[in-house]
Amino acid sequence: MDVVATRVFVADKRPFRHLDPLLLLAALALAVVGLVVIYSATRASLVAQQLDPGVFLKRQATFVTLGAAVVLLASSFDFRFAKVYAGFVYLASLVLLMLVRTPLGTTVRGSQRWFQLFGFQLAPSEFAKLALIAILAAVLSELRSADLSLQDVFRTTAIAAAPGLLVFLQPDLGTSIVMVAILVGVLVVAGTRARYLGILALTAIVLIFGAFQVGLVKDYQIARLTAFADPENDPLRAGWNRDQAEIAIGAGGLFGRGYLKGTQTNLDFVPEQHTDFIFTVVGEEFGFAGAFFVLMLFALLIWRAIRIALLAKGPFGTYLAAGIASMFAIQVFVNIGMTLGIMPITGIPLPFVSYGGSSFLTNCAAVGLLLNIHMRRLV
Amino acid sequence: MTGDRAGLRLRVLAGLVAFMFAALTTRLWFLQVLASETYQTEATQNYVRLVGLPAPRGRILDDTGTVLVDNRRSLVVTVNRQAAGENLEEVLYRLSKLLGVRVEELASRVEDPRYYVFQPVPVEVDAPKRVAFYIGEHSDELPGVAWMEVPVRIYPEGTLAAHVLGYLGQISPPQLEDPTFADYQPGDEVGKTGVEAQYEPFLRGTEGLIKLRVNSAGEILSQIGERPPQPGNDVVLTIDADAQRLAEESLSLGLQSAHGIFEGGTGRSLQATGGAVVVIDPTTGAIKALASSPTYDPALFVQSMSSNEYKRRFGAARDYPLLNRAIQGEYPPGSAYKPFVLLSAMRLGMVSVSEYYPCPPFWEVPEDPLEEVFHNWTSANLGSISLAQALWDSCDTVFYPIGYDYWRRFYPPTEPPVEPLQRDLEAMGFGRPTNLDLPFEQDGRVPDAQWKAGIHKDNPEAFPDGRWFPGDFINMSIGQGDTLATPLQIAAAYAAIQNGGRLCVPHVFQQAQRPGGKAIRAWRPRCGRRLPATQAQIEYVRQALTQVPVQGTAAFAFRGFPFSQVWLAGKTGTAEVFGRQDYAWFAAMTKVPGRQYVVMALVEQGGHGSETAAPIVRRVVEGLYGLPITQFASGGATD
C-alpha cells in the first residue's frame, strides 16, 4: 500500500488535464434540466399559497453550487485513498443509519429518514449508497483468486445487507432496491459465476417471502407494489398517482404542451412532482422530444461511467465505477419506469433532476469519483 | 484484473443498461406518440368541471294572472347515501350538530322512499349561508354531503288548487330511460302530478352551465365559460283562484255540515270522508275550479320526507289526500245518471214524452221466479207521472222497467252482443277518460256482458256468476250496480246537456307564455263529439231538470233561490255503496246572460244528494254570480 501511495503522489501533479468533459457535460445538463422543471413543478402551488414561486428553484441552485464544490473535492484526492478509508466510511454510514432511527432523526409521512440540520434535511441513506459502493469495491479488489467463491459472494452480500436492511426499516424500499442493484452490479463485474448469482437470488426470494410472512413489510408498501400490477385495486390511491403520472406524460405528445403550460403539472394532479415524479414535468411540458433528450443525457452519463470502469487502472477503480454506473442506471430505470407505469411506485429520486440536496450532493460525489478514476487511469 | 474478462462483464452490464433504456424509450413512444390523444382528453377532463346552473321553472297563473306557483332561491343540503358509505352514521351525526336537527330526524329524512340510494337526498331546505361555508371547508369530514342553491317552488295561495297544480320530485329511473326525458340527468326535478307533470315541457327551463378550471383537490381556480340558465315558460290556467277558493271552502263547509247529520241506516252521523267540486264552463270545457277534499300542502314536497311521515300524512288514516277525487275517484253515480239513461231510451223510442208512467213504491221483475223487489227511494205512491216528473222526482220505479226493457229487447245476447245502452253511455263520455289535461285520470266503468264475463273469469270466487242478468240493466238504469263514474265525467256530461249536446274535452290549460308574457301556445277548444240524442230530446231533459230545484228533489236545498236572476237546473243523486253510507251527488247547470257554469259536488258517505251535495253547489253558485250566500241548513232529505 505504501508503495502505491507514494507513486500516486508523485504522478498526481496535473491530473486535471485528463478530465472527462462529456461526463461533466451530461451531469451539468441534467442539473440544469432539474432547475428548469423544479420551477415549473412548484411554481403554481407556491403562488397559490402566496409564497415566493422561486423558493425551491433557489434552494436547488444552492445545491448545484455546493455540488460543484463536491465534484472538485471528490476528484481532487487520489481515489485509491478511498480504499484505505472505505471501512471507516462504511461503519460511519451504518452509525448514521442507526442514529436516524433515534429521536435525532425526523419523521416525514411515516418514514424516519432525515436529520434536520441548519434548515436542510439530510438523508444518510443517500451517502450510505456511496459508502456501500466503496466498501464493496475495496473488499472485492482485495480478493486474491480470480474466481469468487460462494463464501466470498455471501460475505460480500452480508456487507451490503447491513445498510440495506437499515434503510428498508426506515422504511425506504426504494433505496434498499438501489443497494441491491449496486451489489448485483459490482458482483457481476467482479466475475461472480451465474450459478452463485442464482443461489443468491433464491436466498433473497426466500428471505423476502419470510419478511412478508413476519409482517416486516408495511401494508402500504405491498399496496403500492401491487397497485402497479393491478391498478383497479388501489387502497391507498397508489393507482391514482400512477394514472395521473401517465396522463401527464401521455398528454405531452410529441413536442409537449409548453413550458409552465402543463395542466397536470400546474394544477397539482401529479403527486410528489418536484421530487420522485419530476420526470412527468419533462414529459408533459416538453413532450417526447424533451423526454427522449433527458433519457439520452442519462445514457451518456452511464455510458461514460461504464467506460471509466473499463479504463480504470486496477480492480478497485473498475468496481467503484461499475457500482456508480449500477446506482445511476437502477435509479433512472426505476424512477422513469414508475412514471411511465412499467415499474412499481417506490420513492427513488431521479439523479441530478429531482429536488433534494442529499441526493444531488451524493450524485455529485459519485461524478467526482468517476472523474477521479478517469484522471488517474494512467498512473 | 482490468483484463478482457472484466471488459466482457462490463459489456454485460452495458447491455443490461441499454435494454433498460430501450424499454423506457419504447414505453415513452407509446404514451406520448401512439396513445397521446387519449391522454390529452383525460388531462382536459381532469381539470375542466362543468357545473349546472338550475333554471327556475315557469310560474303557474290563474285565468286573471294571479300567481299560484312561483319560485324562490333556497340553500339545500343534500346527502348522497352511496357516497357517504360506511361513514353515513358519522356524517349524519356531524350534520345534525351543524343543522340543529335531531339525528333520528335526519336519518329518517335520508331514508326517503322517493329517492334511490345513489341519488342525493335533500335533507334540509333553507339552510343558513354559514352551513354552506362549513360544508365547503370540511368536505373531508362530510363525505356525500353537498349544498346547492336551487330555485324551489312556493305557493302564494297556500294549499289552493293543490290537486290541480301537483308537485315536484326527483326524476325516477324509469323516467330517465324514457325518450321523453332524454335531456334529463339523475337528480333533476320533474313534475310528478298535476299541471307540473302535464306541462313539464313548458314549465321546465333550460339549465345553464359554468365551465370551471379546477385543481386536483377540486378547488375552483377560474371560470372558463358560462351559459346562463333560461327560465321556463309560464302556464296560465283556466282555473280562477276566486272560484277555486269558493269551491274549496264550500266543499269544506259542506263536509263539516254533513258531520252533524244523523244517518238512520248506520245509526251514526255522516262520515263525509271526502268529496269533490267541479266548476266547468259548458261552452268550452274550461275548468274554473276543481276541488278535492281532503287536500294537502304542496310545499311539503320541497323537503324530503321519511316513509313513515309520508304514510302518516298521505295514507289511509288521512283518507289519501293526494288522491284527486274529481278525476281519480270512481263512484256509482246513482240518480245523477238518470238523464243519460233516459236520453238513450228516448233515442231508441223505448219511451215517449207524451205518455205517463206509474211511480209505485216498489217494482217486481215480471216472470221473475225469485220475485226480487226493487224499491223507489220513497214509500209514497206518486201515481202516473210524465218522464219529466220522473226526472225531477227521481222516480226509480219509472226507470227500473226501462232498464228491464233493454233486457227484453236486446237479450238473450247475440254474438257480439247488441248493447245500445252501454254504447250510448260511452258516447256520453262514461266508461272512458274525458282526456282532460291532467295525469292519472280514471275511466269509470260502463259494465257490459263482456266485462262481467271477464271479471268472473279472472276471479271466479269473488264473482261466482259471469252471466248478464236483467238486474244488471235494472241497476244500471239508476246509476247503481257496477256502474262507476268520476265527478268530472258527470260534470262534463251535464255540460253537454246544457250546451245543446256538444261533449267538450275538459281542460285546465289556457295558454303557455314566455316569462315576459308573450303567448306561445293557447288551448283550442275541442267540442267535436255530440251526445247521441236529438236537440229536442236534450231540450226536454234540460227543461225537466229545471224543476228539480223548484218542485223536485232539490226544492228544499234551493228554497228562496233567485231563479229569476240565475237560470238553474240540476239533478240530485244518492248512490248506495256496499258497507258504506250513501254517496251524495248534485250537478247543476247555471246561466246568466254571457256566463254559464256547470257546478257539481260529490260527498263520499254524505247521505242524500239533496241534503249535503246540493247545498254545497248552491253556495258555489251564489258565490260565482255574486248572490247573497245562504247558510247551510240540514233537512230536505229526498234523493
**Grid cell digits, residue B251:** 266543499
Instruction: Supply the pLDDT for residue A15.
Output: 66
Structural domain contains residue B191:
yes
b/e map B597-613, b = 16+ CB within 10 Å: bbbbbbbbbbbbbbbbb
Query: Rounded to an integer, what distance in angstroms lies between the CA atom of residue B62 and that of residue B239?
Result: 5
Q: Are B99 and B106 in contact (CB under 8 A)?
A: yes
User: Do residue B33 and residue A302 have CB atoms under 8 angstroms apart?
Assistant: no
Among B261, B250, B273, which residue's Cα sits nearest to residue B319? B273
Contact assignment for A269 to B215 by CB distance below 8 Å: yes
In this prediction, residue B2 has a pLDDT band, given cuts at 50, 70 and 90, of very low
pTM above 0.80, yes or no: no
- What pLDDT was estimated at residue B445? 97
Instruction: Decide: helix, strand or coil at residue B27.
Output: helix
Q: How far apart are CA A51 and CA A38, in angstroms?
A: 15
Of B21, B27, B216, which has the smallest distance from its Cβ to A267's Cβ? B216
SS (H, E, C) B432-449: CCCCCCCCCCCCCECCCH
Among residues B493, B487, B497, the alpha carbon closest in space to that of B505 is found at B493
CA dihedral for A371, A374, A378, A379, sign (positive or negative): positive
Nearest chain A residue to B16, by CA: A329
Complex ipTM, two decimals?
A: 0.90
Largest CA distance in chain A: 64
Q: For residue A168, count CB atoms less than 10 angstroms from its CB and return exposed for 0-12, middle for 13-18, buried for 19 or more.
A: buried
- Preferred mutation among B5, B37, B39 to probe A, highest tally of A CBs within 10 A: B39
Q: What is the CATH number of the domain that holds B109?
A: 3.90.1310.10
Given this model, what pLDDT does residue A225 score? 63
Compare all CA atoms of chain B with the CA of A141 and give the residue at the minimum distance: B1
Residues of B in contact with A325 (CB under 8 A): 13, 17
User: With 70 as the cut, is the pLDDT of residue B387 above it?
Assistant: yes
Minimum-distance CB partner of A253 among B12, B13, B40:
B40
In this prediction, residue B401 has a pLDDT band, given cuts at 50, 70 and 90, of: very high
Q: Give the closest residue to A354 by CA, choosing from A169, A92, A123, A180.
A: A123
Quote the mean pLDDT of chain A: 86
Q: What is the pLDDT of residues A347-364, one digit of tens each?
A: 899 999 999 989 999 999
For the CA atoms of B430, B533, B353, B614, the dihedral, rounded to the nearest 10 degrees, stands at: 40
Question: Which residue carries 480504499 as its cell?
Answer: A83
Residue B237 is classified by DSSP as E
Selected residue of B4, B10, B212, B222 to mutate for chain A interface (largest A Cβ count, 10 A): B10
Do B31 and A269 make contact, defined as CB atoms within 8 angstroms? Answer: no
Instruction: Grade residue A237 by pLDDT with cuts at 50, 70 and 90.
Output: low
Q: Residue B212: its chain A contacts at CB < 8 A?
A: none
For B203, the domain range is 52-216+227-237
User: Would you say residue A236 has pLDDT above 70?
Assistant: no
Q: What is the pLDDT of residues B67-80, one digit of tens each?
A: 999 999 888 898 88
- Smallest Cα–Cα separation from B231: which of B203, B268, B257? B203
Confidence of residue A294 (pLDDT cuts 50, 70, 90): very high
Task: State how far the Cα of A237 lies from the Cα of A369, in Å rounded to an integer.
Answer: 40
Amino acid at the residue B364: E
pLDDT band at residue A2, thresholds of 50, 70 and 90?
very low
Which of A372, A355, A205, A238 is closest to A305 using CA atoms?
A372
pLDDT tens-digit readout, B420-469: 999 999 999 999 999 999 999 999 999 999 999 999 999 999 898 888 98
Judge whether B144 lies within some domain. Answer: yes
From chain B, pick out residues whose CB is under 8 angstroms from the CB of A310.
Answer: 2, 6-7, 10
Beta strands in B41-176 (DSSP E): 48-53, 60-61, 67-80, 120-124, 145-154, 168-170
B216 vs A contacts (CB less than 8 Å) = 244, 267-269
Give just the sign of the alpha carbon dihedral B312, B314, B316, B318.
positive
* Spatial distance between the Cα atoms of A345 and A248, rounded to a whole number of angstroms: 16
Instruction: Say what the pLDDT of residue B225 is.
Output: 77
pLDDT number for residue A235: 44
pLDDT tens-place string over residues B65-113 = 999 999 998 888 988 887 787 888 888 999 998 888 888 888 888 887 7
pLDDT confidence of A303, banded at 50, 70, 90?
A: very high
pLDDT at residue A232 above 60? Answer: no
Contact between A267 and B16 using a beta-carbon 8 Å cutoff = no
- Are residues B36 and A292, on separate chains, in Cβ contact within 8 Å? no
| Residue B122 confidence class, pLDDT cut points 50, 70, 90 | confident
CA distance B334 to B481: 9
Question: Is A314 in contact with B35 (Cβ distance < 8 A)?
Answer: no
- Closest partner residue to A322 (CB to CB) among B10, B25, B216 is B10
**Shortest CA distance to B324 belongs to which of B444, B495, B491, B193?**
B193
Q: Which is higher by pLDDT, B618 or B140?
A: B618
Q: All 3 cell numbers of residue A6? A: 507514494
**Per mean pLDDT, which of A259-268, A273-282, B128-137 is the most reliable?**
A273-282
Burial letters B403-442, b for 16+ CB under 10 A, else e: bbbbbeebbeeeeeeebbbbebbebbbbbeebebbbbebb
As a whole number of angstroms, the distance between CA B596 and CA B67 comes to: 25
Q: Which of A254-263, B273-282, B302-311 has the lowest mean pLDDT?
A: B302-311
Minimal Cα distance from A377: which residue of B? B2
Cβ within 8 Å of A, B 35-94 = 35-36, 38-40, 42-44, 46-47
Would residue B617 count as lying in a domain?
no
DSSP-derived 3-state class of residue B53:
strand
Instruction: Test A247 with B42 for CB contact under 8 angstroms.
Output: yes
Surface of B (291-330) touching A: CB under 8 A = none
pLDDT at B633 over 90: no
- A14 pLDDT band (50/70/90 cuts)? low
Backbone angles phi, psi at B170, to 5 degrees: -70, 145
Distance from CA of A48 to the nearest CA of B (A): 10
Q: Output DSSP code: residue A49.
A: T
Name the pLDDT band for A67 (thresholds 50, 70, 90).
very high
Task: Say what the pLDDT of residue B210 is.
Answer: 80
How far does the CA of residue A227 sit from the closest CA of chain B (Å)? Answer: 19
User: Residue A292: which of B5, B9, B28 has the nearest Cβ?
Assistant: B28
Cα atoms in the Cβ-side hemisphere of radius 13 Å centred on A257: 27
- Taking only the tens place, the pLDDT of each residue in A137-184 is 999 998 876 678 888 999 999 999 999 989 988 878 889 899 999 999
pLDDT above 80: residue B416: no
What is the interface size between A and B, counted as CB pairs within 8 Å?
Answer: 136
Task: Assess whether pLDDT exceeds 80 at residue B637.
Answer: no
Residue B556, in any domain of the structure? no
- Per-residue confidence (pLDDT) for residue A5, from 0 to 100: 47
What is the structure's pLDDT at A217? 67
Question: Do A268 and B217 touch, CB atoms closer than 8 A?
Answer: yes
Give B85 to chain A, closest Cα distance, Å.
15
Q: Which range among A222-231, A300-309, B3-12, B365-374 shows the weakest confidence by mean pLDDT?
A: A222-231
User: What is the percent of chain A where pLDDT is above 90?
Assistant: 51
Q: Is the pLDDT of residue B487 over 90?
A: yes
Q: Which residue of A has its CA nearest to B215?
A: A267
- Does position B121 have pLDDT exceeding 60, yes or no? yes
Split at pLDDT 50, 70, 90, the class of A110 is: low
> Which residue among B6, B23, B32 places its CB closest to the CB of A250?
B32
Partner-chain residue, chosen from B2, B23, B46, that has the shortest CB–CB distance to A318 = B2
Q: What's chain A's length in residues?
A: 379
Determine, for residues B40 and A310 on separate chains, whether the beta-carbon distance falls below 8 Å: no
Mean pLDDT (whole number) for B237-262: 95
Count of alpha carbons within 13 angstroms of residue B312, beta-carbon side? 6
SS3 B354: coil
Residues of A in Cβ contact (< 8 Å) with B36: 250-254
What pLDDT does residue A6 have? Answer: 46
**Contact criterion met (CB < 8 Å) for B2 and A314:** yes
Q: Residue B520: which pLDDT band, with cuts at 50, 70 and 90?
A: very high
The H-or-E segment that residue B551 falls in is helix B548-551
| Confidence at residue A359, expressed as pLDDT on a 0 to 100 scale | 93
Interface check for B31 against chain A (CB to CB < 8 A): the answer is yes
Q: Which of A83-87, B239-243, B329-333, B596-600 has the lowest mean pLDDT?
A: A83-87
Main-chain phi, psi angles of A169, to 5 degrees: -80, -10
Q: How many CB atoms lie within 10 A of CB A126?
A: 23
Q: Which residues of chain A neighbour B213 with C-beta distances below 8 Å?
A: 267
CA distance A286 to chain B (A): 11
Strand B384-385 and strand B357-358: the pairing is antiparallel
- Give the nearest partner residue to B33 out of A288, A298, A313, using CB atoms: A288
Total number of domains constituting chain B = 1
Q: How far apart (Å, rounded) are the C-alpha atoms in residues A113 and A348?
A: 13
Q: What is the mean pLDDT of residues B133-148?
A: 84
Range from A18-22, A57-61, B217-221 carrying the lowest mean pLDDT: B217-221
Return the residue of B nearest to A317 by Cα. Answer: B2
Which has the minimum average pLDDT: A124-138, A297-311, B173-187, B514-528? B173-187
Chain B CB contacts of A318 below 8 Å? 1-2, 6, 10
Work out the average pLDDT over A224-234: 54
CA-nearest residue to B8 within chain A is A189
- The C-alpha of A209 sits at a distance from chain B's nearest C-alpha, in angstroms, of 26
Residue B211 lies in a domain: yes
pLDDT at residue number B635: 66
Q: Is B476 inside any structural domain?
A: no
Tell me whether residues B21 and A298 touch, CB distance under 8 A: yes
Q: How far apart are CA A69 and CA A64, in angstroms?
A: 9
Is the pLDDT confidence value at B136 over 90?
A: no
Across B135-163, average pLDDT: 88
Of the CA atoms within 13 Å of residue B375, those in its CB half-sphere come to 6
CA distances from B194 to B60, B130, B309 (A): 11, 36, 22
CA nearest neighbour of A333 among B607, B256, B20, B188: B20
For residues B496 and B283, the answer to whether their CB atoms sit within 8 Å is no
Query: Which has more pLDDT, B264 or A268?
Result: B264
Instruction: Compute the CA torsion angle A240, A246, A250, A251 (nearest 10 deg).
Output: 40
Q: Stretch B264-285: mean pLDDT, rounded?
A: 94
Lowest mean pLDDT: which of A30-39, A284-293, B628-637? Answer: B628-637
* Placement of cell 354552506 in the chain: B132
Q: What is the DSSP string of B274-298?
A: EEEEEEE-TTT-BEEEEEEES---G
What's the pLDDT score for residue A10? 43
Contact A249 B28 (CB under 8 A): yes
Q: Please, what is the average pLDDT of chain B?
A: 91
Neighbours of A254 (CB within 10 A): 12
Q: Mind telling me how many Å the CA of B42 is from chain A's nearest CA?
A: 7
Q: Which helix (H) or strand (E) holds A106?
A: strand A105-108
pLDDT(A109) > 70: no
Q: In this complex, which of A253, A267, A292 lies closest to B215 when CB atoms are compared?
A: A267
Q: How far apart are CA B139 and CA B149, in angstroms?
A: 17
Q: Is the pLDDT of residue B518 over 50?
A: yes
Measured between CA atoms, how close is A251 to chain B, in angstroms?
4
pLDDT at A238: 61
pLDDT of residue A11: 47
Q: What is the pLDDT of residue B201?
A: 94
Angle of helix A55-76 relative to helix A357-375, nearest 10 degrees, comes to 30
Residue B28: inside a domain: no
> A-chain residues within 8 Å CB-CB of B221?
267
Sign of CA dihedral B469, B471, B474, B476: negative
CA distance B132 to chain A (A): 23
Residue B117: predicted pLDDT: 74
CB contact under 8 A, A189 and B7: no
* Residue A240 pLDDT exceeds 80: no
Distance separating alpha carbons of residues B289 and A158, to the nearest angstrom: 96
Determine which helix (DSSP H) or strand (DSSP E) holds A348, and give its type and residue range. Answer: none
Assess if residue B253 is contained within a domain. no
- Residue A38 C-alpha, separation from nearest chain B C-alpha, in angstroms: 19
Give the highest mean pLDDT range of A5-19, A54-68, A244-258.
A54-68
Which residues are registered as beta bridge partners of B280?
A: B287, B598
